[in-house]
Structure 1
Amino acid sequence: MNKTNVKVSLRIMGDRYNTKEITDSLNIIPSESWNRDDPIRNSGKKRSYTAWIYSLDSVETLDVYGQAKKLEELFLPKVEKLEILKQKYNLDISIDFVIIIENQETPAIYFEETFIKFAAKIGARFDLDTYVN
């Protein structure tokens, strides 16, 4: 029997920048990265922006904040570096949530003050995608 899953990622986007510099500065290896104009699989299309993405594994849970907290704990010590990189390359930062709802088990979606302050410090937006199976 499938259970509801939540995946959380921190996505750094910009026009053209060195993704290796992000990796080296944060001392975190991304789950995925690409450069603007890279091909998108076999679609014949190209990427419209450069991205550095760190994703937590998808987890069976009914608590979105629990996953958000893990991302906060990893990146909170790197806020200053993120701010510098964001300024240097005119980057956008997004905290992305992918919620796959199984068996009508809807998770709680809420954010504590510490997480909101963390997101505000790095100027992140939230992107929540939900899928109901």
Structure 2
Amino acid sequence: MELTQVKSEFIITSNELSLKQMIDTLGFTGDYSGDKNDVLKNGQLRGESFIEFCTEYEDSLDIHEQYSKLVARVEGIKKNIISLLETGKICCRFCIVIKIEKGNTPAMYLNSEFINWLHELQAELEFDTYANPYNLEE
């Protein structure tokens, strides 16, 4: 039986800084990263450097379980991020990805601690939702 799955991503981006400058200034690398000068498969430049922290997909019927795990991971480096945010050279985004299976939608609420945390990091919030099974014929 396939269950609804949720994962969270926290992404720091910069149009101005190279990946090396971001890592040197922030003092960490994250789970995934890329440089603004990387050439993509289509031959174009990436255009922005990024550092991403994420959880894996987990069976869940409550998104709070996943986003709170990622907040705990990032909390220890929050001061470094805020310092660089003050220069205007980076942006932050938090993404919650939900794969809904057979209509089993998870509880989706944002507690006040999480909202305040996003505000401190001037982070945008994004939801990516995918409903399965997906039938193009209907």
Short-chain TM bin: 0.7 to 0.9
Distance 2:36 2:22 in 1: 15
- SS of alignment partner, residue 107 of structure 2: coil
Unmatched 5+ stretches in structure 2 = 133-138
- Equivalent position SS for 2:76: helix
Residue segments in structure 1 that go unaligned for 5+ positions in a row: none
Matches of 1:84 and 1:126, distance apart in 2? 20
Shift of 1:45: 3.1
Name the TM-score, length of structure 1 as normaliser.
0.87
CA distances 1:78-98 after superposition (whole Å, capped 9, x unpaired): 221111122235211000111
Deviates more, 1:109-118 or 1:22-31: 22-31
Q: Find the aligned partners of 1:83 and 1:34 in 2 and give their Cα distance.
A: 21
In the alignment of these two chains, the number of paired residues is 132
Name the CA distance, whole Å, in 1 between partners of 2:125 and 2:74: 15
Question: Quick check: which has more Rg, 1 or 2?
Answer: 2
Change (3 A) 1:26 1:37: closer
Number of the residue aligned with 2:136: none
* Cα offset, 1:127, TM superposition: 0.8
Is residue 2:34 matched to residue 1:34? yes
RMSD in angstroms over aligned alpha carbons?
1.9
Alpha-carbon distance in structure 1 between the residues aligned to 2:66 and 2:57: 9
Moved more, 45-54 or 4-13: 45-54
Q: Relative to structure 1, is the Cα distance of residues 93 and 57 closer, same or farther in structure 2, using a 3 angstrom cutoff?
A: same
Percent of aligned pairs sharing the same letter: 25
CA-CA distance at 1:25 after TM superposition: 5.9
Task: Tell me the TM-score normalised to structure 2 length.
Answer: 0.84
Which range moved further: 25-34 or 121-130? Answer: 25-34
Tell me, in whole angstroms, the C-alpha distance in 1 between the residues paired with 2:34 and 2:74.
21
Matches within 5 A, 1:1-133: 1-20=1-20, 22-23=22-23, 28-40=28-40, 42-88=41-87, 90-133=89-132
How far, CA to CA, are the matches of 1:116 and 1:7 in structure 2? 18
Of 88-97 and 56-65, the range deviating more from structure 2? 88-97
**What is the rounded CA distance, in whole Å, between the counterparts of 2:22 and 2:35 in structure 1?**
13
Shift in Å, 1:19:
3.0
Query: One-letter code of the match for 2:51?
Result: W
Per-residue CA deviation, residues 80-130 of structure 1 (Å, 9 max, x unaligned), is 111112223521100011111111111111111111111111111101110
Shift of the alpha carbon at 1:48?
Answer: 2.4
